Amino acid sequence: MPDEKKKYTTIHYHSYLQLDKITGAQKLRSAELEDQPAHEEMLFIIIHQAYELWFKQIIHELNSVVVMFKDDWVDERNLGTAVGRLDRVSEILRLLIQQIHVLETMTPLDFLDFRNYLFPASGFQSLQFRIIELILGLKEDNRMTYSGHSYKVVFTEEQKEQLGNIEEGGSLLELIESWLERTPFLELKNFKFLEEYQKAVHRMLDKEKQAIMDSAYLTDKEKEMRSKMLGGTDTYFKAVLDEDAHNKMRAEGKISLSYKATIAALLINLYREQPILNMPYNLLMSLKSIDELMTTWRYRHAQMVMRMIGNKIGTGGSSGHGYLAATAEKHKVFKDLNHIASLLIPRSELPELPDELKKELGFYFSQK
């Protein structure tokens, strides 16, 4: 039990925020090793300390959302809270991207004044950033290697164990996949979503092909080319219309989500205007936003490194810009949610929902 006498005692702003510890944590290596400290090293340290503080907040938010989705039954009332916290993560990531502009007020020559004192320290050694990646769902098999080694090679044995436990504990990607698989509206009584969707796709493709062939402005060659580009149900639609094809792509590492979860995500996107599906749709959009902003941050980080050191190797021994640029594309977690856009069809082609199902998906009240 807390000490009631201390519970409501006054506290000073300075001591509450422990500002002596925070503002006293900037130790310039150039000041320790040279008579004249490098002025820009202070900015470099504070920028990266600020990153680590925001990483701590991101971990705090993501862990709280993970807890909400741990059980087999997710309280729908928690979805709004989860979306709010995930959106907060997105806002923090936007701030971290903007922070790069502050760091870029330092010139390459300014950085060279103290860069030699940083070896072999590297942002690659940020434990908290690796924890964020793991909580989101980035597995080791899907990572770029670090000079041919596991990303864990730079951490202590205790830290490696911590990372391993997080990786085995169930990521947000895995929990969201399980939640999607439990979507109850995929096949309900007289409405079979997948069958109706397949018919709608065929109708849409037939109309688009007919519009191409009826065009008075296209040559026969152009019509043929555009028809091929349009494709058919054997192109990107195959992943949802053919479960075996989907499972093969998943085994090859081309997609992450299970077949059932993918169908559920598609249904949520197509019928997101139904009241009960609106919040699940917002949740999926929040996850996409985080993935996109993580990608943007990686890309901007790579640009900044190129601006500062060109093609030199990183202080931690990586290839520098080349490694960072490659991770922007390779280290996406929720890319399957973006692929759903390829499967969307116009509202005019959406299969009509039975009235009974509309009632279940809406806020229905009988009137006497």
- Give the model confidence (pLDDT) of 124-181 as tens digits: 899 999 999 999 999 888 887 767 778 898 899 999 999 999 998 889 999 999 999 9
User: What does the pLDDT average to over 310-329?
Assistant: 73
- The CATH code that applies to domain 4-361 is 1.20.58.480
pLDDT of residue 184: 72
pLDDT of residue 119: 85
pLDDT of residue 15: 94
pLDDT of residue 321: 80
pLDDT of residue 294: 96
Instruction: List the structure tokens of 210.
Output: 């007919």
pLDDT of residue 183: 79
User: What does the pLDDT average to over 79-92?
Assistant: 97
**Has residue 314 got a pLDDT over 80?**
no
Taking the C-alpha atoms of 299, 322, 58 and 2 in order, what is their torsion angle to the nearest 10 degrees?
Answer: -150
Instruction: List the structure tokens of 206.
Output: 């037939």
Which DSSP string do the residues of 170-225 spell out, in sequence order?
--HHHHHHHHHHT-TTSEETTEEHHHHHHHHHHHHHHHHHHHHHT-SSS-HHHHHH
- Each residue's pLDDT tens digit, 10-35: 889 999 999 999 999 999 999 998 77
CA-to-CA dists, residue 361 to 44, 266, 274, 358, 364, angstroms: 52, 16, 6, 5, 8
User: What does the pLDDT average to over 96-117?
Assistant: 94
Which helix or strand (DSSP H or E) is residue 114 part of? none
pLDDT of residue 14: 95
**Has residue 313 got a pLDDT over 50?**
yes
pLDDT of residue 367: 40
**Has residue 368 got a pLDDT over 70?**
no
pLDDT confidence tier of residue 357, bands split at 50, 70 and 90: confident
Integer Cα distance of 166 and 155 in angstroms:
15
pLDDT confidence tier of residue 319, bands split at 50, 70 and 90: low
- Each residue's pLDDT tens digit, 262-295: 999 999 999 999 888 999 999 999 999 999 999 9
Helices 243-251 & 259-270, crossing angle to 10 degrees? 110
pLDDT of residue 96: 97
pLDDT of residue 123: 85
User: What does the pLDDT average to over 176-190?
Assistant: 79
Instruction: List the structure tokens of 111.
Output: 């950085």
**Has residue 7 got a pLDDT over 70?**
no
In single-letter form, the type of residue at position 330 comes to K
- Each residue's pLDDT tens digit, 196-254: 898 898 888 888 888 888 888 889 888 888 877 766 656 778 778 889 989 998 999 88
147: left (phi over 0), alpha (psi -120 to 50) or beta: left
Question: In a 3-state reduction of DSSP, which class is residue 146?
Answer: strand
pLDDT of residue 121: 83
Question: Is this structure's pTM higher than 0.85?
Answer: yes
The b/e string for 12-44 (b: 16+ C-beta within 10 A; e otherwise) is eeeeeeeeeeeeeeeebbbbeeeeebbebbebb
pLDDT of residue 366: 42
* Domain limits, the chain: 4-361
pLDDT of residue 75: 79
Across the chain, what does the average pLDDT equal?
Answer: 87
pLDDT of residue 45: 96
pLDDT of residue 192: 83
